[in-house]
Amino acid sequence: MSEQQYSISGHPITDTRMKKTIRTADGKWLDINPDTDVNIIRQPRNVTRTGTDFAHGEDLYLTTDTHNVRHYYVISWVAEGRSTKESYRTLTEEQKDTFIRDHVHRAGKIGLDPDVADHIEKLFPGFLKRK
């Protein structure tokens, strides 16, 4: 769902269903929007709609606040049948690095998808080359 513009009596109204406000680890409020924030890692959500299939994953995002400070957050999700439940948490810079390293490690012998690797390298130059 993305933002859509509607007009009622000539006045624009913005549909902001995906915008959310979450609390950071230090207790501050952070406005996020997974539709427009930078997606760093997104897990595939392949669930056959049989009602018994189950999938889960975590997606990593980057957003910048009004003071131009970068914030990282994870959406943890569980999909079962036709319903999906999500929870949100923010990450520190160090936790973000660990999250990416763990994702790369889980890719194992198959390796990281080249598009994902290029995206990570573009956002964090040299990150994948560090040991």
pLDDT digits (tens, 9 = 90+) for 65-76: 989 999 999 999
Where in the sequence is the domain holding 105, given as residue range(s)?
A: 4-129
40 Cβ contact partners less than 8 Å away, ≥ 6 residues apart = 60, 61, 62, 72, 100, 119, 120, 123
Q: Give the DSSP H/E element, type plus range, for residue 58.
A: strand 54-64
Contact 72, 60 (CB under 8 A): yes
pLDDT digits (tens, 9 = 90+) for 78-119: 987 778 889 999 999 999 999 999 988 888 756 778 888 888
Question: What is the pTM (predicted TM-score) of this model?
Answer: 0.76
Domain count, the chain: 1
Sign of CA dihedral 109, 54, 31, 4: positive
